[in-house]
């Protein structure tokens, strides 16, 4: 258990689960407390964003955790960035000398190749409301994803066991959650920007069946992506697939 104020987590490990997030959602609906976390050494039905399948071979990280909070609506907005910074810091501690960068809102990449991904879901009402965050990371091997580059910690010269990394992420999340509770979103936003791809990076943002190209111009005060288009307009992006174009 972490002793970090504000997030006293507990981690339960399973040999095999369908989906750690589905398990956490079921547990949350049945009263599991804030900080309950679940890890699977093998996951057979992992889920990514927008209904995608998340491949999770044995040896990679598959875990999820529950958050309950009196400021749940504000936390929902901040959560992608709190998790992103915590995940980046935990992964970086096992890859000294390797430059990892965040892609909006919470993918961790190395030289444009995806190392990890996050799925955030919410449910419940009132005092029973919850957020479940699922995190997958390529530790031993990187799955093949059509049209996307992927990489693993092993390929980058590092090594860490899933349980150790899950504990590191939960500890870092507790640190950043306490910072957000004390100082608001501004320091989280600054930390995210410090760990993100460079301003001016060429991006494509999916809108329906089309992509809008432009340049990364930072985040607004709520964490929405700012895209400077080729027409020199700045558009605000609240959701959508982002491609780094180099």
* DSSP codes of every residue in 176-230: HHHHHHHH-SHHHHHHHHHHBPPTT-EEEEEETTEEEEEEEEEE-TTS-EEEEET
* 54-58, 127-131, 140-144, 205-209: least confident range: 54-58
pLDDT band at residue 74 under the 50/70/90 scheme:
very high
CA angle 199, 118, 17 (to 5 degrees): 165
The residue among 85, 80, 81 whose CA lies nearest residue 121 is 80
> What is the assigned CATH class of domain 10-195?
alpha beta
Average pLDDT, the chain: 90
Check pLDDT > 90 for residue 231.
no
pLDDT band at residue 238 under the 50/70/90 scheme:
confident
Check pLDDT > 70 for residue 5.
no
Type and span of the H or E element at 109: strand 107-110
Q: What is the pLDDT of residues 35-71, one digit of tens each?
A: 999 999 998 876 655 455 555 678 999 999 999 999 9
Q: What is residue 239's predicted lDDT score, i.e. its pLDDT?
A: 79
Average pLDDT, integer, range 95-114: 94
Tokens of 223: 């964490």
Check pLDDT > 90 for residue 204.
no
Q: What is the pLDDT of residues 107-135, one digit of tens each?
A: 999 999 999 999 999 999 999 999 999 99
Check pLDDT > 80 for residue 229.
yes
Q: What is the DSSP letter of 102?
A: E
Check pLDDT > 90 for residue 144.
no
Q: What is residue 212's predicted lDDT score, i.e. its pLDDT?
A: 85
Q: What is the DSSP letter of 144?
A: -
* Pairwise CA distance, residues 92 & 233, whole Å: 35
Q: What is residue 4's predicted lDDT score, i.e. its pLDDT?
A: 42
Q: Domain map of the chain by residue range?
A: 10-195, 202-244
pLDDT band at residue 241 under the 50/70/90 scheme:
confident
202-244 topology per CATH = SH3 type barrels. (2.30.30)
């Amino acid at each position: 258990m972490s002793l970090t104020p504000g997030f006293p987590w507990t981690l339960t490990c399973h040999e095999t689960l369908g989906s750690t997030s589905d398990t956490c959602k079921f547990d949350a609906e049945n009263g599991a407390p804030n900080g309950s976390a679940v890890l699977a050494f093998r996951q057979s039905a992992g889920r990514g964003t927008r209904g995608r399948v998340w491949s999770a071979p044995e040896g990679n990280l598959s875990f999820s955790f529950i958050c309950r909070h009196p400021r749940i609506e504000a936390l929902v907005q901040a959560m992608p960035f709190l998790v992103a910074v915590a995940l980046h810091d935990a992964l970086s501690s096992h890859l000294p000398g390797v430059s990892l960068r965040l892609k909006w809102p919470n993918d961790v990449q190395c030289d444009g190749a995806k190392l990890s991904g996050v799925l955030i879901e919410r449910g419940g009402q009132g005092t029973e409301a919850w957020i479940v965050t699922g995190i997958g990371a390529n530790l031993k091997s990187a799955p093949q994803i059509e049209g996307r580059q992927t990489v693993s910690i092993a390929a980058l010269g590092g090594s860490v066991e899933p349980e150790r990394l899950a504990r590191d992420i939960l500890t870092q999340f507790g640190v950043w959650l306490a910072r957000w509770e004390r100082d608001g979103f501004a320091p989280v936003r600054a930390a995210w920007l410090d760990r993100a791809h460079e301003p001016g990076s060429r991006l494509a943002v999916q809108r329906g069946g089309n992509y809008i190209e432009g340049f990364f111009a930072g985040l607004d005060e709520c964490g929405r992506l700012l895209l400077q288009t080729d027409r020199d307009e700045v558009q605000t992006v609240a959701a959508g697939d982002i491609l780094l174009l180099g």
